Homo-oligomer: A and B are copies of this chain.
């Protein structure tokens, strides 16, 4: 039996490969009109790093890592809040004719 960490590496690679395909396809279909909102939305999405940061800040293994984790959570949270708000603010501006 392989050790689970190595086994999982291949799952991770599979996920990465598939997610990259999804990414390319999905982004290629984004309307060119919306490339600026796209950038701020992906900003918010990539702030998913918050997941890792929360664990570090919450585990409180050492003062050093807790501080690093807290700063990382704050940085990610900034991106989440500003990313989604800004995207929505911009999208609200796009109006159809006669609306």
Contacts and interface: CB of A to CB of B under 8 A. Distances in A.
Interface string A26-54: 10010000000000000000000000000
The interface residues of chain A, by DSSP majority, are classed as helix
B11 A15 contact: yes
Given A11-B14, A21-B26, A22-B25, 11 more contacts: A7-B8, A8-B11, A11-B11, A15-B15, A15-B18, A18-B21, A18-B22, A21-B22, A22-B22, A25-B25, A25-B29
12 contacts: A8-B8, A11-B11, A11-B15, A14-B15, A15-B15, A15-B18, A18-B18, A18-B21, A21-B26, A22-B22, A25-B25, A25-B26
